[in-house]
Amino acid sequence: MLTGRERAVAEVDLAAIRHNVRRLSRDLPPGGQHCAVVKAFGYGHGAVPVARAALAAGSSWLGVATATEAEELREAGLDAPIMVFGPMTGAELALAVAAGADVVAWSGPFVEEARRLGARVHVKFDSGMGRLGVNEAGSRELCAAAAAGPSRLVGLMSHFATADEADTAFYEYQLGRFTRLAGELRRAYPDLLRHTANSAATLRSRASHFDIVRTGIALYGLAPANDDPFKDDLWPAMRLTSYIAGVRHVQPGDSVGYGRRFIAEAPARIGIVPIGYADGIARALTNRGDVLVAGRRCRITGTISMDQLTVRLPDDGGAPGDEVVFLGAAQGQRILCEDVARLLGTINYEIVCDVGARVVRRYAHEQETDEEAALWSAAREAGERARASETRTEGETG
């Protein structure tokens, strides 16, 4: 009987979350705020522990997609400002307002209802995303309506469609439109908070930062363009593991699993791993995905089932009880979420969001150590010195 671990575990390193918040806040303008986007169960990582860690590292806003997500944060005792990004029915709007969350508006009737409820409103300007939002004229009207009370006009926001793409033309177009409208409306409403940057824009250019940046994917240490998070000094927070529950020795002609999609040509060792597609290991990784067993890469071999899967073990490695890594590092080897996403023709966002509800979330480094705090204050001071000398240089040349 194996003891000591759950069948499938997503370990979330909260020190990595804190690091990423500080990394993302590093280049913000004076007074610039960080909104930690924790919608969709914190992109699979767990919204409440991630939100706590982000706030501890200096985030001042939390972003969610739904009223219920806002309510869950409040029930956990978090009292930071929250914005709810998504469309809401009347009932959901009432729930969000009751939870003390800010709401996002892009229609007259919605603003009227928000006014009736005394909501705090951010108007959504569509600068080119082509999804939610209204144009310049519509934004002016909605801002005026929300500011007329008893609701409050809090912010003007927009969202980028291509901030993660190498071609920056459309990004620059959206940024230009937002910059012009935000400047105009800020003169009309001096307290207006302007925000448009997602993770990709936050990393791409300071011109996108304005008053608040809203970062999701990079908060979790994942690369917005699905390439290499380490090049931007982001630390992946999630490590997804299971273990070898048993080893089978197959002979030539023996098959493994549904549909007999692996038939042994030679004697082989097959490890049985109690994690499946219901836990978020995409069935399309059958015979294609890799895992780490004791630091060695092994192929997922045979059809992935709902609750378990099988891997081809080395002839001389892999024993019952060994850890099996799906995302994360072991003995100097690493499987990046981005690599798995590329193999599946999708993006890292979907990989972590798909990690199933029955995968146990475990949190590491809940408390910041003195060492971590000291490292960060040293980094902050170095950053301030660098900015000060940059400003001097600009002053000299300009």
Ligand X SMILES: *Cc1c(COP(=O)(O)O)cnc(C)c1O
Nearer to ligand X, 42 or 280 (CB): 42
CB-based contacts of 87, cutoff 8 Å, min separation 6: 132
**Given the DSSP bridges, would you call strands 309-313 and 268-273 parallel, antiparallel or unpaired?**
antiparallel
Q: Residue from 33, 66, 174, 199 that binds ligand X (CB under 6 A)? A: 199
Nearer to ligand X, 217 or 340 (CB): 217
**Which listed range, 14-22, 142-150, 211-219, 233-241, lies at the site for ligand X (CB under 6 A)?**
211-219
Q: Residue from 159, 204, 209, 312 that binds ligand X (CB under 6 A)? A: 159
Q: Is 208 in the site for ligand X (CB under 6 A)?
A: no
Nearer to ligand X, 233 or 381 (CB): 233
Listed residue (202, 195, 201) closest to 26, CA to CA: 202
Nearer to ligand X, 159 or 194 (CB): 159
Q: Is 301 in the site for ligand X (CB under 6 A)?
A: no
Q: Residue from 42, 128, 216, 229 that binds ligand X (CB under 6 A)? A: 216
**Which listed range, 109-117, 215-223, 240-248, 383-391, lies at the site for ligand X (CB under 6 A)?**
215-223
Q: Could you give the angle at the alpha carbon of 219 between the alpha carbons of 93 and 154, nearest 5°?
A: 35
CB of 210 to ligand X, least distance (A): 13
DSSP 72-90: HHHHTT--S-EEE-S---H
Q: Residue from 198, 208, 226, 310 that binds ligand X (CB under 6 A)? A: 198
Cβ proximity of 308 and 319 under 8 Å = no
d(CA 314, CA 235): 30
Binding mask 77-106 for ligand X (x = CB under 6 A): --------x---------------------
Q: Which residues in the 9-38 window bind ligand X by CB under 6 A?
A: 37
DSSP 353-370: HTS-TTSEEEEE--SPPH
Nearer to ligand X, 114 or 256 (CB): 114
CB of 220 to ligand X, least distance (A): 8
Cβ proximity of 308 and 283 under 8 Å = no
Q: Token pair of 169, please?
A: 């033309």
Q: Residue from 42, 224, 280, 328 that binds ligand X (CB under 6 A)? A: 224
Nearer to ligand X, 156 or 300 (CB): 156
Q: Find where tokens 């608040």 sit.
A: 212
Specify the long-range contacts of residues 250-257, CB closer than 8 Å, at least 24 apart.
255/302, 256/301, 256/302, 256/310, 257/302, 257/303, 257/305, 257/310
Which residues is 68 bridged to in the sheet? none
**Which listed range, 69-77, 216-224, 249-257, 380-388, lies at the site for ligand X (CB under 6 A)?**
216-224
* Active site residue ranges: 39, 258
**Where is 256: in which H helix or E strand?**
strand 255-256
CB of 265 to ligand X, least distance (A): 44
CB of 27 to ligand X, least distance (A): 15
Q: Which residues in the 35-74 window bind ligand X by CB under 6 A?
A: 37, 39
Q: Token pair of 180, please?
A: 């012009």
Query: Rule CB under 6 A: which residues touch ligand X?
Result: 37, 39, 85, 159, 198-199, 214-218, 224
